[in-house]
């Protein structure tokens, strides 16, 4: 810049102008003064101010044109860019420009007058061009350096004032902004003075924020510090330490609780930075903000609590929870894993689940796993064995959930617990269900299964299987006489003996009671017979109990697959049937025979029929009279049982009575007979017929201890006299248990019943005993009737006569049964027999028929 030389008046004038400029209140005022002064100094035709606004745009701001009596604000009427035109170039170069003749200057653009010379002085402050004073004159060569110098000085003063005004305005704006900020911010912005411990800015809002009046805080000893929770004071101190040590631009936050007016503490975050330091560099003021973070804290606390709860649940849960990745690698586990596996959680992390699973369960575990991994959200339950760290095998039940799709989990979650106890009891149940507790041998259920499977196999291979049914003879006796303990011991010994003598391929089982079974897989009939013979032999060897020899024997039945049956059930049944046959003789074996099966089947059928016959009243009685040869009149009617089905005789008494005796059904049958016999007595009585009714009673009936009692009860119930009934009991029956028969018959007789010994002569009994039996009548069996025939030998007749003599000598009345011909009747008469019975005399018939025939027609010829 050229050296400025000014005249004294000029300097004085400028000084005065400077004073005015320095007091001008606005930029426009400054610029107007500048324009006015420039106009005056340079005698220019026109002066205006080019003003830099944003983006390098230059606009006219103030100007005085010819005809104007003063400078005017002419905002943005003309515009150019920095570097363009004379004004723009001067601003860009920050240098005064004088154009002596505008016609030689191509960049000159006329604005308002036809100017031929121009002077442009930039307004520069602090190295920055704010704009430029532009003077124009209609004459060429009007401006020179003398014009330029004072204007440059003027420009410097004006630029300084403008810069100052701009700064002031910026400051004002900032202040407004800050004020607005302070007012509207949700957080409290403040300036804190360390010495007074009060805020010099933002205190009212701060007080309000906590519910205080401004004065409340001002009155506190420690100012704002009085509000900090005692526990948080160290944190606040620490924050101020940090502020002191860090640069002034560093913001240091602290979270603490401040006490509110209502006494409660509020969680806040204070973010502070040093605002002012003293001469020694110690901070004396800080600026910052206070923010309510109570909700955040509450949420944090809830989250922390919840996390803690989950953690506690997780870590203390009874089950074990394991998180695997898709490949089965353990990602996480609860510490409870140690309780189950002996491994700590740290020991298992990163290892594959399969490492712990027992070999036997690998395949199945993998199958379940592979399937589950394919099913996001899927679930599976797996029972498997794992190996404990100490080598033990443990059963666990794992409940697996596929959470691979869930970003929070991203894996397979397994929840497992040990099920050893359950598995133990399951095994115990299986043992109980399959094995006999006494001998430890498989039981019937298990054996049936074994045979079933063996047959399946044999069917495929075309081989045979033999099943032996072993039943101990006399075992019941042992049990009854020596007690159950000995019985159990004996069963065990028998099982033991068989077990050790049988071939390895044989499977022994206890079917129940004293029944055993032996299965010979691939055994044929020959081997079965050989084995059965061996069993019979080994079991007939005495057993030694306390130096006492105990002898039993066994009956064995054999059935062979496929000859005797094609399925397990049949083979079992047929071996049992064969055993049943062997049992008839005991201490032997028998092979299954179809005939035996048929017999048994028939008797089973018969038993069934008998049952239903009893229920549907198929039993009726027919009556056959016995005729007194002395009077020629009927004295008694023998009741004979008839089984009719659909009106037809279904089975003869000889067929079903023995069976009914065997099965015990005879008692029910007998009751019916007595009932109907009592009815008959009543009917005869009604017809004025004085006849006894004889009923046949079998040995088993008589031997029942309550027989007499029941009979008497029935008789009483029917309201008849015992003396109108005769009890027929066969010789064989009477002699089978003499003592018992004797006392029963004595009792019956003493009650008034008449007693007849039936079928005399067939029982080969000791006559001495027989004669002593308390009986009224003896009936000579009908099988001897032919001895009375015309063509019978003399010996036969003599034999019959001796039979008659035997009975009469003991004082009994004698009846000849089976009289079929007149000859026999005559012979009977000749022999002095008391009574006769037989087809020749009268056929058995229903009571009604007998009553209709009016008994009168029955007579000896």
**Separation of alpha carbons 813 and 42, rounded Å:** 191
- The nearer residue to ligand C2E, 528 or 694, going by C-beta atoms, is 694
Residue 726 within binding range of ligand C2E, rule CB under 6 A: no
Residue 152 within binding range of Ca ion, rule CB under 5 A: no
Residues contacting ligand C2E: total by CB under 6 A: 22
Binding range to ligand C2E, per CB under 6 A, among 71-79, 173-181, 388-396, 836-844: 836-844
- Site map for ligand C2E, 631-650, x if CB under 6 A? --------xxx---------
**543-545/548-550 β-pairing:** antiparallel
Residue 443 within binding range of Ca ion, rule CB under 5 A: no
Residue 776 within binding range of ligand C2E, rule CB under 6 A: no
Q: Is the Cβ–Cβ distance between 93 and 99 less than 8 Å?
A: no
Q: Is the Cβ–Cβ distance between 239 and 255 less than 8 Å?
A: no
Q: According to CB under 6 A, which one of 626, 696, 724, 860 is a site residue for ligand C2E?
A: 696
Binding range to ligand C2E, per CB under 6 A, among 246-254, 376-384, 582-590, 653-661: 653-661
Q: According to CB under 6 A, which one of 782, 807, 813, 860 is a site residue for ligand C2E?
A: 782
Nearest to 466 by CA among 446, 451, 453: 451
Residues contacting Ca ion: total by CB under 5 A: 5
Q: According to CB under 6 A, which one of 18, 56, 653, 722 is a site residue for ligand C2E?
A: 653
Residue 557 within binding range of ligand C2E, rule CB under 6 A: no
| Residue 658 vs residues 153, 155, 607, 655, 666: alpha-carbon distances, Å | 160, 156, 11, 7, 9
Residue 828 within binding range of ligand C2E, rule CB under 6 A: no
Q: Is the Cβ–Cβ distance between 256 and 229 less than 8 Å?
A: yes
Residue 825 within binding range of ligand C2E, rule CB under 6 A: no
Binding range to ligand C2E, per CB under 6 A, among 41-49, 228-236, 553-561, 651-659: 651-659
Min separation Cβ 430 and ligand C2E, Å: 52
Sheet architecture: strand order including 393-403? 330-333, 320-324, 411-418, 393-403, 379-387
Q: Taking CB within 5 to 8 Å according to partner kind, which of ligand C2E, Ca ion, none is near residue 654? A: ligand C2E
Binding range to Ca ion, per CB under 5 A, among 23-31, 364-372, 759-767, 839-847: 759-767
> CA quadruple 211, 216, 218, 222: dihedral positive or negative?
negative
Q: Taking CB within 5 to 8 Å according to partner kind, which of ligand C2E, Ca ion, none is near residue 223? A: none
Burial tier of 381 (Cβ tally within 10 Å: 0-12, 13-18, 19+) = exposed
Residue 769 within binding range of ligand C2E, rule CB under 6 A: no
- Give the list of residues 6+ apart from residue 14 with CB closer than 8 angstroms, or none: 6, 150, 153, 154, 157
**619-628/634-645 β-pairing:** antiparallel
Task: Identify the helix (H) or strand (E) that includes residue 574.
Answer: helix 568-583
Nearest to 253 by CA among 229, 269, 232: 269
Q: According to CB under 6 A, which one of 134, 414, 698, 860 is a site residue for ligand C2E?
A: 698
Angle at 417 between CA 412 and CA 419, to 5 degrees: 130
How is residue 465 written in tokens? 């299987």
- Site map for Ca ion, 711-730, x if CB under 5 A? -----------------x--
Min separation Cβ 726 and ligand C2E, Å: 12
The strand pairing partners of 624, in sequence order, are 638
The strand pairing partners of 332, in sequence order, are 323
Binding range to ligand C2E, per CB under 6 A, among 301-309, 406-414, 428-436, 837-845: 837-845
Residue 761 within binding range of ligand C2E, rule CB under 6 A: no
- The nearer residue to Ca ion, 287 or 674, going by C-beta atoms, is 674
Number of alpha helices (DSSP H) and beta strands (DSSP E) in the chain: 28, 33
Q: Cis peptide leading into 562, omega within 30 of 0?
A: yes
Q: Which of residues 799-818 bind ligand C2E (CB under 6 A)?
A: 818
**Separation of alpha carbons 565 and 569, rounded Å:** 8
Q: According to CB under 6 A, which one of 652, 767, 798, 859 is a site residue for ligand C2E?
A: 652
Interface residues with ligand C2E (CB under 6 A) are: 624, 639-641, 652-654, 657, 673, 696-698, 728, 758-759, 782, 818-820, 838-839, 844
Interface residues with Ca ion (CB under 5 A) are: 696, 728, 758-759, 817
């Amino acid at each position: 810049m050229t050296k400025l030389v000014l005249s004294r008046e000029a300097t004085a004038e400028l000084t005065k102008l400077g004073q005015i400029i320095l007091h001008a209140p606005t930029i426009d005022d400054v610029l107007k003064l500048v324009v006015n002064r420039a106009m005056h100094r340079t005698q220019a035709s026109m002066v205006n101010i080019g003003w830099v606004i944003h983006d390098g745009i230059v606009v006219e701001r103030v100007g005085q044109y010819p005809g104007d009596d003063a400078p005017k604000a002419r905002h943005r009427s003309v515009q150019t860019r920095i570097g363009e035109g004379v004004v723009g170039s001067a601003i860009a170069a920050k240098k005064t420009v004088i154009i002596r003749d505008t016609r030689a200057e191509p960049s000159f653009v006329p604005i308002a007058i036809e100017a031929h010379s121009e002077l442009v002085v930039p307004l520069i402050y602090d190295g920055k061009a704010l704009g430029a004073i532009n003077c124009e004159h209609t004459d060429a060569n009007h401006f020179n350096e003398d014009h330029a110098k004072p204007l440059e000085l003027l420009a410097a003063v004006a630029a300084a004032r403008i810069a100052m005004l701009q700064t002031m305005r910026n400051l004002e704006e900032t202040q407004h902004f800050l004020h607005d900020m302070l007012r509207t911010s949700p957080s409290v912005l403040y300036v804190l003075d360390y010495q007074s411990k009060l805020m010099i800015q933002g205190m009212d809002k701060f007080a309000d924020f906590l519910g205080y009046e401004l004065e409340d805080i001002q009155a506190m000893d420690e100012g704002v510090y009085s509000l900090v929770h005692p526990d948080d004071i160290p944190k606040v101190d620490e924050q101020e330490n940090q502020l002191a040590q860090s640069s002034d631009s560093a913001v240091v936050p602290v979270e603490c609780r401040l006490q509110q007016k209502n006494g409660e503490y509020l969680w806040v975050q204070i973010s502070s930075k040093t605002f002012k330091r003293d001469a020694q560099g110690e901070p004396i003021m800080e600026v910052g903000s206070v923010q309510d973070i109570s909700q955040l804290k509450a949420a944090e606390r809830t989250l922390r609590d919840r996390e803690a709860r989950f953690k506690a649940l997780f870590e203390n849960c009874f089950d074990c929870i394991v998180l695997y990745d898709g490949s089965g690698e353990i990602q996480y586990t609860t510490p409870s894993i140690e309780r189950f596996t002996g491994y700590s959680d740290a020991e298992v992390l990163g290892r594959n689940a399969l490492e712990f699973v027992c070999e036997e369960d690998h395949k199945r575990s993998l199958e379940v796993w592979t399937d589950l991994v394919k099913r996001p959200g899927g679930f599976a339950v797996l029972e498997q064995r794992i190996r404990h760290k100490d080598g033990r095998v443990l059963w666990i039940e794992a409940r697996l959930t596929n959470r691979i799709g869930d970003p929070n989990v991203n894996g397979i979650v397994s929840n497992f617990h040990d099920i050893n106890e359950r598995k133990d009891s399951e095994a115990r149940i299986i043992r109980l269900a399959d094995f006999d507790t006494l001998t430890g041998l498989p039981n019937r259920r298990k054996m049936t299964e074994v045979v079933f499977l063996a047959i399946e196999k044999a069917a495929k291979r075309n081989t045979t299987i033999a099943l032996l049914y072993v039943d101990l003879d006399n075992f019941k006796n042992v049990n009854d006489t020596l007690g159950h303990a000995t019985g159990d011991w004996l069963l065990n010994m028998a099982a033991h003996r068989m077990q050790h003598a049988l071939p390895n391929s044989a499977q022994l089982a206890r079917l129940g009671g004293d029944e055993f079974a032996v299965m010979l897989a691939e055994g044929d009939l020959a081997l079965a017979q050989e084995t059965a013979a061996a069993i019979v032999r080994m079991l007939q060897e005495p057993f030694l109990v306390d130096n006492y020899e105990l002898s039993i024997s066994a009956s064995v039945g054999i059935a062979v697959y496929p000859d005797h049956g094609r399925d397990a059930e049949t083979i079992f049944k047929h071996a049992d049937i064969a055993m049943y046959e062997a049992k008839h003789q005991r201490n032997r074996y028998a092979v299954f025979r179809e005939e035996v099966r048929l017999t048994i089947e028939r008797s089973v059928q018969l038993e069934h029929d008998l049952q239903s016959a009893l229920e549907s009243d198929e039993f009726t009685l027919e009556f056959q009279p016995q005729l007194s040869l002395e009077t020629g009149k009927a004295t008694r009617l023998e009741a004979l049982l008839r089984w009719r089905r659909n009106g037809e005789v279904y089975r003869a008494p000889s067929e079903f009575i023995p069976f009914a005796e065997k099965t015990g059904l005879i008692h029910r049958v007998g009751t019916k007979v007595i009932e109907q016999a009592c009815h008959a007595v009543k009917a005869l009585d009604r017809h004025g017929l004085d006849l006894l009714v004889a009923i046949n009673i079998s040995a088993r009936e008589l031997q029942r201890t309550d027989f007499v009692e029941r009979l008497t009860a029935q008789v009483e119930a029917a309201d008849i006299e015992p003396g109108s009934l005769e009890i027929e009991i066969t010789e064989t029956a009477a002699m089978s248990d003499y003592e018992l028969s004797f006392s029963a018959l004595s009792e019956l007789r003493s009650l008034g019943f008449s007693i007849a010994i039936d079928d005399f002569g067939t029982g080969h009994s000791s006559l001495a005993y027989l004669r002593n039996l308390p009986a009224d009548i003896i009936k000579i069996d009908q099988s001897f009737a032919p001895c009375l025939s015309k063509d019978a030998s003399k010996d036969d007749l003599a034999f019959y006569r001796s039979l008659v003599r035997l009975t009469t000598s003991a004082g009994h009345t004698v009846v000849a049964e089976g009289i079929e011909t007149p000859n026999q009747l005559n012979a009977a008469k000749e022999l002095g027999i008391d009574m006769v019975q037989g087809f020749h005399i009268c056929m058995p018939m229903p009571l009604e028929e007998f009553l209709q025939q009016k008994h009168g027609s029955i007579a000896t010829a």
